[in-house]
Every structure is written in structure tokens, then in C-alpha cells.
């Protein structure tokens, strides 16, 4: 993300070195083949440069012409359009339209200093809540451990009503940062609505320096297998992983590590190199970048002493593992330092650089592509080809070799050595989650409670109560599959349009049968529904770390990775091509 100054040097062309065919023939004796070849090469280079200079001049002429036309259009419309135009919105729309012809990662931003600082420093001044829109209301979706909001009693599911007396219940969410973020030590008053309360609850909160941790969980699994969950590559991610491994070692014999990069969207390139340095030999190439400008062509090597070199390693990835996650996974795979497990990663192999612009604006611009140590491009979608002929992905790639000679391919993203998919939720569970039913019920159920017992469980009575909640009115009918929707529409049409009584009766019977099938689906997947509901209710009373730790016991991929490491070298070695 660090911008490097670029100095362009124009080659100097001496006209006296140009040799025409007539000049060559008029100079006896004939030159040796080596000298002739040299002069021929110089001639070809001179011609090539002339064409290059012409192309560059034409290119910059087009750039200047475009700027002049764009500026004139902006001026004319701003000054002479029949209605008053917001100049800021108008220029932003023009810039956004230009950038949409490139890739989705090249963006123009205003007042983004907080976001850049959050990524580069890993901290910001706030109260420790995350919000989202639920039923058109700004709702608390997470509460960070240890900060003012948690300490004062704000809960997941609370709906923001006011901040310092200003109504914010309907957002927009982006505008809330102006009120919630600020200098550490300053205070604000937040009013929230909670189910079961007719009046807002007021909380006086103190802003603190919110430290966004990259490692959200590390713990020892059965058999001496260490687990580290890395959720982002913000500032000090490498130090956090190093500290987690040291703590695991201090807690007992460490026989292997599971590094979980699932759903990790990436972050800072330097931190990706720092994390890779923990598992790779000193001086190893981790990633290279290649750009249009030669100054963007670099190779990044490990720079810290490895503390887990040779320790069996499994790196977990999925379709949401992107960018810096793919850099680490690609380096581990290409250098045979561990097994990659999961599903194919996202395929985001484009490098962005933030260029500061006047008036507190910035341009995040794609300047290069990432390549693994073996030379594989991480990028999946070729946006240049997509613009020219709608090709969504890069063409098939040749075979690449890992350090030990294993064949790997340029699939766009990292293809795991062991493909193990995350458990797919039953349709009914996905419907309930996507409809926000688990979230809403847990919010309502938890509202009158001050806490839940340590051994809290969702018994059959509570499960039936949840079933009734999911069916109780039209906007909560999360159990309604597409089939049930079509059936009820058909029944309504039959009654409205006066179908024959016999046909109407049969349609009603079909609706009833579909409803019975929905109930059967609920009964068939009671345990999955019970587990999801328990997690959602517990989230109102337990810390993030407690919730993550509890989820590991049912995590199919973590269990598979730990089993592979506990089995020892034979199975692990076969995946790495060891004999």
C-alpha cells in the first residue's frame, strides 16, 4: 500500500549514430560480421524507439485531449444545465463511471482517512460495536470484547435510536461514523430500542482506541495440534500469529498447526510476507508483483527468523479467502511447507496502491499483479479480456512445479492439495438464516434475560416455540419454500377466479401437503436448527472468543485438518509428494 515515487528517464538519441544503407556501402573495408550485427541492432533499436516515441506522443495527446473535453463538459453542465447540479455529486459520478471500465478494486474515495488508518494501524477511536440494517433499522450485529459498549451492556440485536440526541434509527450506516468515531476519552450517548421495552435505553459510552485484532482465536486442539484463526492482515498480523504460536508452544507439546484463513479477505502485503516468514526458510521468495511500470516489479522475501519451520502445517482456505490469504497459501504450497485444505480460494491477485488526492480524497488504483513463487498468477478474472470479449476468466495455464517437483496449476486462486468442502447447510437452515429468523428470535428471547446459564441448551420446548415464531405472520414465513409460495398463489387464484369446487379442493389439498413437507423438513433437521439457534442466543451473552471456540467442536474442516496432522507423516507426506 506504500506509494513509491517513479522517475521516468527518456533515452537520449544521438543522430550521429544513425547509419543509412548508402553510408554503410561507401565505407571500405567491410566490417566484421560482429560489428555489422552491432550496427544492425542499433538501427533496429533506433527504428523501434522512433515508433515508441510516436506511440507515446499519441497516447499523451489523447490523455490531454480527454482531460480538456471532460473538463469542458463538467463546466458547461454545472453552469448551464436547466436545473441546479450538485458539483461534487456530478464529478463523483463521472469519476465512478470512468473507473467502472477498469476493475472493481480501482475506486475513488472521499474522506477515507479513517478507513486507511484502520487498515494500516489496526486501530481507531470508537465504542466497540458493529451495526447493520435489519428490517430497515440500524441494528447492532456484533459487540467487541472488552470495550465500552460491552461493558455498559449494549447487546447484539439492539436497534440504534439516537446518538447524542440525533435520530439515526434508519441510517444511513455510513453517516454514523461521524458520531461514533472520535478521540479516545471523549464520550457520547447512544439510545437503543430493545424488544420488550417501550422506551429507549440510554447508554453513556466512552470512546477508546479500538484495536482490531487479526488473530481472533488460538487454542490447543486434541493431540497437540495448535489452531490459529487469522481473520485479516491488518497491522501487526505477523506479530500476532508469532505470539499465538509461542503461546501454544508454551502450553505443551506442539505437533502441528492449523492456520485458518477461511473468509479472510486480505489486507496488507507486508503482513502477508510477515506471516509466511514464520513457516518458510529465511530468504525464501513469498510473492512477486509485476506491473505496467517496472518500478512495480518486485520480489518479496521472508525477512524474519521462522519459528515454525518444519512443523507440520495445514492452511485452511475457502472461496472467500482472498489477496493476502492467497499469497500466504500460494507460498506455502509452492515451497511444500504445508498442506492447503478446503475449497478453491477467491482469486484476487491484483495489487492496489492508495494515491492521495487533493481535498481529503484518494484513488485506490490497481498497479500490479501478484504471482506465487512458482510463477502462478493468483488473479482469477482477467478484466482486460472481459472488456474486450466478455471472457470471464484467464485462459488455461501451463503446469507449474513446486520446490519438490509437484505439479500445480494456475486456476485463478489457490486450488487446495486436499479438497474438503465446508458443510453445506440444509435448505431450511439457510432459509431461516437468510430470512433473519434466528437473529430475530434470539433478540426477542434474550431481551428480558440478564444472562443464561453456562450449560444453557435449546430444549424441545424452546425449539417448538421457535417453529411457531417462524410461522406466525406473513413477513416471518421463512419456512415457505418456493414450492409453497407457488402453491399458495395458485390456491388464491383458484378461489378468486371461481375455479370448479373439485379443482379448488384439490389445490387446497396440495397446499396442505406442501405445508406438511415443510414441517417434515423442520423435524428432519432439528439438530442443525437447534445448533444454529443456540449459537445465536449465546451470542447475546458470550464473548467473541467464547463463541468462536465453541464453534470448533462442530467445524468439519478443522476436524479434518487436525485428524490429518494427528495421523503423522504418512498421510500428510503423501499430499506433499513425499516418499
- What are the grid coordinates assigned to 116, written together? 486507511
Non-local (6+) Cβ contacts of 210 within 8 A are: 123, 124, 125, 126, 127, 128, 144, 147
Closest CA to 4 of 294, 388, 262: 294
DSSP symbols for 107-148: EEEES-HHHHHHHHHSEEEE-SEEEEEETTEEEEEEE-TTSH
Return d(Cα 490, Cα 484) in angstroms, integer. 10
Burial class (CB in 10 A: 0-12, 13-18, 19+), 369: middle
* Burial call 110-143: b when 16+ CB within 10 Å, e when fewer: eebeeeeebbbebbbbbbbbebeebeebbbbeeb
Cell 480501482 sits on residue: 106
* Backbone region of residue 486 per phi and psi (left: phi > 0; alpha: psi in -120 to 50; beta: other values): alpha
Closest CA to 435 of 489, 479, 484: 479
Tell me, yes or no, if 348 is annotated catalytic.
yes
- The catalytic position among 158, 260, 270, 334 is 334
Please compute, for residue 451, the number of CA atoms within 13 A of its CA located in the half-sphere on the CB side: 5
For residue 400, the Cα-to-chain-centroid distance in whole angstroms is: 27
Q: Specify whether the CB–CB gap between 561 and 464 falls below 8 A.
A: no
CA dihedral 391, 393, 397, 403 (to 10 degrees): 160
- The catalytic position among 348, 364, 380, 440 is 348
- What are the grid coordinates assigned to 296, written together? 512495480
User: Which H helix or E strand runs over 508?
Assistant: helix 501-524
Collapsing DSSP to helix, strand or coil, 357 comes out as strand
**How many C-beta neighbours within 10 Å does residue 191 have?**
21
Task: Evaluate the omega torsion of the peptide bond into residue 512 and state whether it is cis, within 30 degrees of 0.
Answer: no
CA dihedral 321, 324, 330, 331 (to 10 degrees): -150
Tell me, yes or no, if 23 is annotated catalytic.
no
- The catalytic position among 148, 274, 323, 345 is 323
Helices (H), 251-382: 269-277, 324-334
Please compute, for residue 79, the number of CA atoms within 13 A of its CA located in the half-sphere on the CB side: 6
In the chain, the largest separation of any two C-alpha atoms, in whole Å, equals 112
User: Which H helix or E strand runs over 79?
Assistant: helix 33-80
Return d(Cα 198, Cα 454) in angstroms, integer. 30
Return d(Cα 289, Cα 281) in angstroms, integer. 20
Tell me, yes or no, if 325 is annotated catalytic.
no
Task: Evaluate the omega torsion of the peptide bond into residue 503 and state whether it is cis, within 30 degrees of 0.
Answer: no
CA distances to 164, 180, 298, 458, 548 from 539, in Å:
27, 23, 44, 14, 10
Which residues are known to be catalytic? Answer: 323, 334, 348
Amino acid at each position: 500500500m506504500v506509494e513509491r515515487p517513479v522517475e521516468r528517464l527518456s533515452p537520449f538519441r544521438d543522430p550521429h549514430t544513425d547509419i543509412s544503407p548508402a553510408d554503410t556501402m561507401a565505407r571500405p573495408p567491410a566490417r566484421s560480421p560482429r560489428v555489422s550485427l552491432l550496427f544492425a541492432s542499433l538501427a533496429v533499436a533506433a527504428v523501434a524507439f522512433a515508433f515508441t516515441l510516436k506511440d507515446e506522443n499519441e497516447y499523451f495527446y489523447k490523455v490531454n485531449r480527454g482531460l480538456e473535453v471532460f473538463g469542458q463538459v463538467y463546466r458547461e453542465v454545472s453552469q448551464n444545465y436547466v436545473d441546479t447540479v450538485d458539483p461534487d455529486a456530478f464529478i463523483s459520478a463521472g469519476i465512478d463511471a470512468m473507473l467502472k471500465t477498469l476493475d472493481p478494486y480501482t475506486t475513488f474515495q472521499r474522506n477515507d482517512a479513517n478507513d486507511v488508518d484502520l487498515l494500516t494501524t489496526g486501530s481507531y477511536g470508537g465504542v466497540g460495536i458493529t451495526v447493520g440494517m435489519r428490517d430497515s433499522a440500524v441494528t447492532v450485529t456484533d459487540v467487541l470484547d472488552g470495550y465500552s459498549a460491552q461493558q455498559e451492556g449494549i447487546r447484539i440485536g439492539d436497534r440504534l435510536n439516537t446518538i447524542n440526541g440525533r435520530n439515526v434509527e434508519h441510517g444511513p450506516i455510513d453517516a454514523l461514523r461521524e458520531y461514533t468515531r472520535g478521540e479516545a476519552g471523549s464520550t457520547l450517548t447512544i439510545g437503543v430500542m430493545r424488544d420488550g421495552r417501550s422506551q429507549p435505553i440510554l447508554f453513556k459510552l466512552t470512546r477508546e482506541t479500538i484495536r482490531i485484532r487479526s488473530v481472533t482465536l488460538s487454542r490447543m486442539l486434541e493431540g497437540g495440534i495448535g489452531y490459529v484463526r487469522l481473520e485479516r492482515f491488518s497491522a501487526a498480523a505477523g506479530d500476532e500469529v508469532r505470539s499465538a504460536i509461542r503461546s501454544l508452544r508454551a502450553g505443551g507439546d506442539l505437533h502441528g498447526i492449523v492456520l485458518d484463513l477461511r473468509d479472510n479477505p486480505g489486507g496488507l502485503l507486508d503482513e502477508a510476507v510477515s506471516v509466511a516468514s514464520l513457516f518458510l526458510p529465511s530468504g525464501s521468495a513469498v510473492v512477486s508483483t509485476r506491473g505496467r511500470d517496472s518500478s512495480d516489479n518486485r520480489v518479496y522475501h521472508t525477512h524474519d527468523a521462522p519459528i515454525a519451520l518444519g512443523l507440520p502445517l495445514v492452511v485452511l482456505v475457502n472461496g472467500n479467502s482472498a489477496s493476502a490469504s492467497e499469497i500466504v497459501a500460494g507460498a506455502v504450497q509452492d515451497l511444500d511447507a504445508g498442506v492447503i485444505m478446503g475449497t478453491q480460494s477467491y482469486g484476487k491477485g491484483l495489487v492496489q496502491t492508495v494515491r492521495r488526492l487533493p481535498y481529503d480524497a484518494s484513488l485506490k488504483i490497481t498497479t500490479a499483479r501478484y504471482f506465487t513463487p512458482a510463477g502462478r498468477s493468483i488473479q482469477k478474472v482477467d478484466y482486460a479480456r472481459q472488456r474486450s470479449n466478455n471472457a470471464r476468466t484467464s485462459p488455461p495455464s501451463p503446469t507449474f512445479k513446486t520446490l519438490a517437483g509437484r505439479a500445480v496449476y494456475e486456476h485463478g486462486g489457490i486450488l487446495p492439495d486436499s479438497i474438503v468442502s465446508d458443510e453445506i447447510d440444509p435448505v431450511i437452515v439457510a432459509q431461516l438464516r437468510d430470512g433473519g429468523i434466528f437473529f430475530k428470535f434470539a433478540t426477542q428471547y434474550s431481551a428480558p434475560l440478564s444472562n443464561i446459564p453456562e450449560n444453557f441448551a435449546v430444549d424441545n420446548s424452546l425449539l417448538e416455540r421457535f417453529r411457531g415464531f417462524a410461522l406466525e405472520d406473513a413477513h416471518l414465513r421463512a419456512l415457505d419454500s418456493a414450492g409453497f409460495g407457488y402453491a399458495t398463489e395458485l390456491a388464491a387464484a383458484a378461489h378468486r377466479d371461481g375455479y370448479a369446487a373439485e379443482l379448488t379442493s384439490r389445490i387446497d389439498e396440495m397446499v396442505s401437503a406442501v405445508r406438511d413437507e415443510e414441517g417434515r423438513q423442520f423435524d428432519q433437521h432439528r439438530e442443525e436448527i437447534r445448533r444454529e439457534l443456540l449459537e445465536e442466543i449465546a451470542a447475546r451473552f458470550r464473548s467473541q472468543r467464547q463463541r468462536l471456540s465453541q464453534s470448533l467442536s462442530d467445524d468439519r474442516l478443522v476436524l479434518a485438518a487436525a485428524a490429518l496432522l494427528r495421523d503423522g507423516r504418512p498421510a500428510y507426506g503423501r499430499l506433499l509428494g513425499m516418499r
